[in-house]
Amino acid sequence: QFTLKKMLRGHDLPVNTVAVSHDGLTLLTGADDGHVIVWDLETARQIQDISCVFHGQVVCICWIDLGKGDNLAFIIGCADGSLQVYQRVDLKAPFAYCSMTVGHKAFVQNISYDHSSGRIASVGRGTIQLWKLTTGCLEKIPMDFEQEGVMVQSVHFLDNGTNIILCLCELHEVLCYNVDPWNLQWAKQIPTRIGHSMLSSDEQSLFISNLLSGVDQYRLPSMKQTRSYSYPILHNYMMQVSLFDNKVVMGRDDGFARVFDIRTGQLTQMLDHSHGERRAVA
């Protein structure tokens, strides 16, 4: 059972994204107020406030590795389509601005990072870009993907970064491409639209918010549906999905995060957020 340990307060407007470091000691939060706050999870203390207000809302955050350690750098995606990289020299130092790249014509909605290859994928306004980190700067990787009329919702690297999964919202499609050279490996269609999605750590399952009745679990690469986690939806917001051990956690519009047991499919807990819809979980 999850229990409430601390309430973190720092943002003036709704939080859009949260990211916990690999060692579980640091939390990053990004919000509509255009700020990224760095938190010490052991003390629940705010240790840094990074202002990105000139780039609009902070929509997504992803931890990355610039070759000095897993918890020393991150990349954020903002409402103006920019991707910004921040890093620190050690765990006690503050994060410093490293680089900024205009990656998309509108807000960046999803970022995925592969540790093995060092590749980054970003999604903005339905389009996808691939990047390689070069001394802290993003270098675009050429890709031959027809994006006209296609709305990519989220992306996931797998097979040590050699392949990438694209989830297409309105077309109900999940595509798997080999990255280098760029070519289609397989394509599957599912019955529902695709909101937020989450790849399991063993890369065997894909959890998809269906924008209808909850979250569906699919087996890869067959995309056969193996389980559904359903709950009433009052207002169809784009809610996030997160995995923790044998639990799947999902946001909802009533202020409660739902926790389901992956092994049984049963609802095991409702986490009270108390202040409206819960959109971001990690």
Each of the 282 residues of the chain gets a pLDDT tens digit; together they read: 888 888 899 999 989 999 999 889 999 999 999 999 999 999 999 999 999 999 999 999 999 988 777 788 999 999 999 999 999 998 889 999 999 999 898 889 899 999 999 999 999 877 899 999 877 889 999 887 776 667 888 999 999 999 999 999 888 999 999 998 999 999 999 999 898 899 999 999 999 998 888 899 999 999 999 999 987 777 666 677 888 888 999 877 777 888 999 999 999 998 887 654 445 555
Structural domain count of the chain = 1
Distance CA 65, CA 218 (A): 29
263 occurs within a structural domain: no
State in Å, rounded, how far the first CA of the chain is from the last one: 16
Angle at 237 between CA 14 and CA 280, to 5 degrees: 45
Q: Two tokens at 184?
A: 């289609």
281 assigned to some structural domain: no
Reported as type and span, the H/E element at residue 187 is: strand 183-189
Domain of residue 44: give its range. 15-238
Is there a domain that residue 75 lies in?
A: yes
* Verdict on whether the full-model pTM lies above 0.85: yes
Is there a domain that residue 44 lies in? yes
The reply to whether 269 falls in a domain is no
CATH code: domain of residue 197: 2.130.10.10
**Strands of the 119-124 sheet, one edge to the other:** 108-113, 119-124, 127-134, 137-141
Residue 30 lies in a domain: yes
State the pLDDT at residue 278: 47
Does residue 138 sit within a domain?
Answer: yes
Query: Measured between alpha carbons, how far is 262 from 259 in angstroms, rounded to an integer?
Result: 9
